[in-house]
Amino acid sequence: MSPALDEVQQAVNKAAQLVVSVSKGISKWHKGLQPQDTMMSNMERRPSMASVNPVDEVDHGKKDDETAVQTYTIHKQPKNYYKAVSENKEVSKLQSQLSTAINSTKKEVTTALDHFSEFHHVWMVDRDEDLENFNKENPKLSEYEAKIKHYEEMEIQINALPEYYDVGPIGMYTERLKLGLTIETKQWRVHFGKACNQKYSSEMEEMFEFIEDLNKRLSRPLKDLDDIRYAMGSLKDIRESEIRIDMGITPIEESYAMLNKHELPVNKEEMERCDTLRYSWEKLQAQAAEVQTTLLEVQPLFKTELIENVKTFIGDCDDFCGGYDTHFLKS
């Protein structure tokens, strides 16, 4: 709370003292009448409290949006009413009441501030530590969104609170407190949004690397059996990863849509890249189907070549074994 209750109480006490001190500038009247000239002379000699010398007026650094604070010097009169006023029972009683009027509201002020205690999480919990514990559970996209919605709802609750609370003579304005809390809730939303984005952008990059690698491998011309073996290995990798990628693309797309829906910062290039992910995967699948068709077409030709090569290999093995037996065993 700014200013603190003690500071407000001190200001009230000082104001009460200044009000009573005004009586120092009020001169006592004499019972006897004074000659006209003497009265005029005394009036000139004793300036009124309302009259202010330029020297007596002080401007305490007024800001553009504030009212100037001016100090007026009390011209103390030799014989004044200060003692009579300050020692008056009613005045003393009022001063005594004012001296505790503000501090006596501490309990009510605390009760009013309790309306904000339910939001203590946003400033008391460490964001990084909380996110680390959250990520240990390997959260799904729906869990990230639930966290973001939680802080959105909290922000709505904060903004719905009154702009001020009346606590006895004190008006507690909550504008700055509410602004600070909404800034904190936004930072929490951005924090979880960033973590969600990092998780799914990383998965997206892995998929793109896989797709681009397979795309290059399937683009290799089928000139010999090594090329066919290479192509068949690529098709096997696609089949083994097909379910994983099909199930992974949708959460990635939904994550970017969710972040955009909640107006959280996302890299524009990533958004555009996400839009092409499914198309790139479908294009790779189409390319794999073409390669598979090509393999079926060239199979008879390479099968015949393979059979001939196997026959040649068998013949070469027989010749080698026969020559080995003839030359080395006899010796």
Cβ-proximal residues to 327 (8 Å cutoff; 6+ apart), any chain: none
Domain that holds residue 204: 200-329
Asked whether the beta carbons of 94 and 4 are under 8 A apart, the reply is: no
Q: Same domain, yes or no, for 145 and 255? A: no
Q: Same domain, yes or no, for 30 and 73? A: yes
Query: Which of 138, 159, 189 is a domain's end point?
Result: 189
Q: Same domain, yes or no, for 114 and 19? A: no
Asked whether the beta carbons of 122 and 185 are under 8 A apart, the reply is: yes
Q: Same domain, yes or no, for 252 and 154? A: no
pLDDT score, position 70:
59
Q: Same domain, yes or no, for 240 and 317? A: yes
pTM (predicted TM-score): 0.68
Q: Same domain, yes or no, for 113 and 95? A: no
Does residue 195 fall inside a structural domain? no
Does residue 194 fall inside a structural domain? no
Q: For 169, left (φ over 0), alpha (ψ -120 to 50), or beta?
A: alpha
Residue of 111, 211, 207 whose CA lies nearest to 166: 111
Q: Provide the 10 A C-beta neighbour count for residue 122.
A: 20
Tens of pLDDT along the chain (331 residues) come to: 667 777 777 887 788 778 878 877 777 776 554 555 544 545 554 544 444 444 344 444 444 444 555 565 666 677 777 777 777 888 888 877 777 776 666 777 777 777 788 888 888 899 999 999 999 999 999 999 999 999 999 999 999 988 887 777 777 788 888 999 999 999 999 999 999 999 999 999 999 999 999 999 999 998 887 888 899 999 999 999 999 999 999 999 999 999 999 999 999 999 999 999 999 999 999 999 999 998 888 777 767 777 777 788 887 787 777 766 676 655 5
Q: Same domain, yes or no, for 244 and 155? A: no
Q: Same domain, yes or no, for 112 and 159? A: yes
pLDDT score, position 121:
86
Does residue 143 fall inside a structural domain? yes
Does residue 142 fall inside a structural domain? yes
Q: Same domain, yes or no, for 207 and 307? A: yes
Q: Same domain, yes or no, for 79 and 112? A: no
Q: pLDDT, tens digit, for every residue of 231-256?
A: 999 999 999 999 999 999 999 999 99
Does residue 85 fall inside a structural domain? yes
- DSSP string across 276-294: HHHHHHHHHHHHHHHHHHH
Does residue 31 fall inside a structural domain? yes
Does residue 248 fall inside a structural domain? yes
User: Which three-class secondary structure state does DSSP give residue 58?
Assistant: strand
Domain count, the chain: 3
Cβ-proximal residues to 94 (8 Å cutoff; 6+ apart), any chain: 16
Q: Same domain, yes or no, for 287 and 171? A: no
Does residue 279 fall inside a structural domain? yes
Q: Same domain, yes or no, for 45 and 82? A: yes
Number of residues written out for the chain:
331
